[in-house]
Each structure stands twice: as structure tokens, then as C-alpha cells.
Amino acid sequence: MATGRWQTGRTTIKDIARAANVDPSTVTRALQGSERVKAETRERIASLAEEMGYVPNMAARTLVTASSGLIGVVIPDLTNPFCAEHGRGIEDEAERHGLPVLIHDTRGIEAVERSGIDLFLQLKVDGLIVPMARSPQAYYDRLPARLPIVHVNREEAPHHVSCNRTAGARSVMQHLFDLGHRRIAFVVGPHGPGLEPKGFAYREALEKAHIDYDPELIFAFDGTLPSCEVAAEQLLALDERPSAVFAHNDINAIGLIHALRDRGASVPEDISIAGHDDIHLAGFVDPPLTTVAWPMYELGQHSVRHLVSLGHGNQPRTPKLPMPRLIVRRSTAPPASS
């Protein structure tokens, strides 16, 4: 491979112009579909471009137009099926609008999120979609005003699409209360604005049920399966164990089920486990997981529509999205003492 440059033998506009015996500017206009070029000439140039394997040089276009025609998306964790579903919604809707998408996986790290944004700015993307941002809103407020930005689940942002983030958590807590649980643990996720509403709903539900908040029942999950092992060890070491656990997402809940089983505890016979997100695996684990279904695909679609509307100079209305739904499966049951 040649050093310093890839695809040194790529077909250029000038190559097509020579083959067609026309000026390079005519080739450019023809490939853009300009009616200033005769239809017969446009067809001949398009056929030559295909035969010669011509690929448009996006970098050159960006230099000339100060626009790439791209949407930049920063996803917190592409290995999480929950985030992948959201990304699929973005890509499918962007394709309908003829917009290519660049996705940057931040792994939930604020510094990586910002480096991704910096890269998108260098590439002169036409807009940004930011699901569950880790950087504070003040950081995004300082980005160039020309750049439309749509946040997902960040209500303080000027432009956002959001789902009711507390409704699902409330439904989980009410379900556990209805089963007879009163000592309920909560596993918090990696720090970030998108996770705060679940913790708020957890504490709110306890207060309404006249149950004291107990810091001993709060366990940490850093996004890795080893942290599920740690949480299981800590939970089983308590003098008075909880009869149920509300985990902040399904990956955490599934990891916890396996970690508890490895230590001789049965779900839900000994401890009920509920998650949040309803990823595809949730219904196939043993036992199938009680969880909350979020409209993540629809959030992805609406975020693109919102961005497109902003790009056209409009002020889009906040979309009406489906409410989160409680999905009751076999991982929750009445406490053993009931």
C-alpha cells in the first residue's frame, strides 16, 4: 500500500471527462443531475462513472461546500442492545431522507464523547444527534450555533426528543409493591443524566409507600459484568437481604441473575429481579425478565425527523411518543415469606 494516502489509483472527475471528451465541470454538473447538461450527456457520463468505478470524494466536496451531507451520532454503548436499537431507528429514518450517518461509540466516557464531537466538527457534519449525553449541556451550548443538535432524553436541551423516563421505573416499583415486596434494592448505573430519573422514581415510590430509604440497598453497576458479581456478593452478604431488586437496565439485571445463581440464590424464589429496557434477550433468559419496554427505535426515528426539520429552518414540535410499558415475566414473584 502506498504510504500517506489510500486509493491512489481512484477514478477522478478528470478521468471521466477525458473518457467522455467533455470539460470536468460538465461531468460535475452531470453527476449532480443538473438540467444544464443534456439528458443524453448525463446518462452517458453516469454510465462511464459506473464503468470506471467512480466514487465521489467527500473530502473534496466538504472543502468546496463547507458541508458534508452527513449526520453525526454519538452512541454511549453500541454493545448494549438498547443503544443498538436506537441506532437502528436513526439509520433507517436517515436513509429515508437520503442522509448518510456516522456513528461514534463513546463507551459512556465523557472525554470520548467530546473527541467524537470534535471529529464530527472537523468533518463538517450537517447535524448532530446525541442520545443520553455524558457531557453537560453547557458544553453543547458552546458548539457552533450553525450546527443543529438534537438530544435524546435531555429535557434541558434547546432541541430534544424524550420519553417519560420516570414512568417506567414507577411501574416497576408498583409491580413489586403489588407482589408484596417492601425491602427492594436498587442497582444504579454508570453516572450520567440519563440514569437519574430511575433513581428519582425509586425514592419517590418508597416515600409514597411510607418505606424508609436505605442506602445499604443501593448497589453500583459500572456497565461491566464483573460489577454484577460484586453487587451479588454485597447483596448476599447483607444481614437482612432484600426480597427484590430493581436493576437500572436489562444487561445489569441479566448479569445479576447469573451471578446470584452461581452463588446458590434462586430467582425469583429467593430474590425477584426486574430490569429496564426490554432488550431482545430479556424474554429468553432463565427466568424470562420482568422489565420495561422503551420505544427506542421510535426515539431514533423522531430524532432524525426533528433534526431534518431544524435543518430546514423550522421549529419542530415535540413528538408524542409511546409511553414505556411494563412487561411482566417470571423473574418476579411474591416474596418467599408471603
Same domain for 104 and 185? no
Q: Is residue 65 part of a domain?
A: no
Among 79, 75, 100, 97, which Cα is nearest to 87's? 75
Counted residue by residue, the chain has a size of: 338
Residues 110 and 176 in one domain: no
Residues 6+ apart with CB under 8 A from 251: 80, 81, 82, 223, 279
The reply to whether 62 falls in a domain is: no
Do both 117 and 140 map to the same domain?
Answer: yes
Instruction: Please check whether residues 183 and 127 belong to one and the same domain.
Output: no
Same domain, 179 and 158: no
Low-confidence ranges of the chain (pLDDT < 50): 1-7, 59, 62-65, 192-194
Amino acid identity, position 78: L
User: How far is the C-alpha of 49 from the C-alpha of 42, rounded, in Å?
Assistant: 10
Quick check: is 6 in a domain?
no
Number of folded domains in the chain? 3
Backbone φ, ψ for residue 99 (5° rounding):
-110, 120
Look at residue 64 in the predicted model and tell me its pLDDT. 46
What's residue 169's pLDDT?
Answer: 94
225 and 252 fall within a common domain = yes
The CA distance from 258 to 242, in Å, is 17
- Are 265 and 146 members of one domain? no
Domain identity same for 196 and 224: yes
In a domain, 303, yes or no: yes
Cα separation, 147 vs 126, whole angstroms: 7
Q: Which residues pair with 105 in a beta bridge?
A: 75
Is 81 within the bounds of a domain? yes
* Residues 303 and 157 both lie in one domain: yes
Residue 173 maps to which CATH number?
Answer: 3.40.50.2300
Nearest to 203 by CA among 195, 212, 194, 216: 212
What distance lies between CA 164 and its chain's CA centroid? 16
Cell of 235: 447483596
Q: What is the pLDDT of residue 2?
A: 40
pLDDT for res 32: 76
Tell me if 192 is assigned to some domain.
yes
Q: Angle, to 10 degrees, between the axis of helix 24-31 and the axis of helix 13-20?
A: 110
Domain for residue 242, yes or no?
yes
The answer to whether residue 66 is domain-embedded is no
Q: Answer yes or no: do 205 and 233 share one domain.
A: yes
Minimal CA–CA distance to 153: which of 324, 328, 325?
324
Mapping DSSP to helix (H, G, I), strand (E, B) and coil, where does residue 257 land?
helix
* E strand spans, the chain: 71-75, 101-105, 127-131, 149-152, 160-161, 184-188, 218-220, 244-247, 272-274, 291-293, 325-327
Residue 72 has what pLDDT? 95
What are the grid coordinates assigned to 117, written together?
A: 464531537
Phi/psi of residue 276, nearest 5 degrees = -155, 130
For cell 444527534, the residue is: 129
Residue 66: left (phi > 0), alpha (psi -120 to 50), or beta? left
In this structure, are residues 144 and 128 in contact, taking their beta carbons and an 8 Å threshold? no
- Please check whether residues 288 and 300 belong to one and the same domain: no
Q: Which range marks the domain in which residue 91 is found?
A: 71-162+296-321
- The one-character DSSP state at 101 is E
Residues paired with 292 in a beta bridge: 326
- Burial annotation 55-67 (CB, 10 A radius, 16+ → b, else e): eeeeeeebeeeee
The CATH number of whichever domain residue 36 belongs to comes to: 1.10.260.40
Are 49 and 91 in a shared domain?
A: no
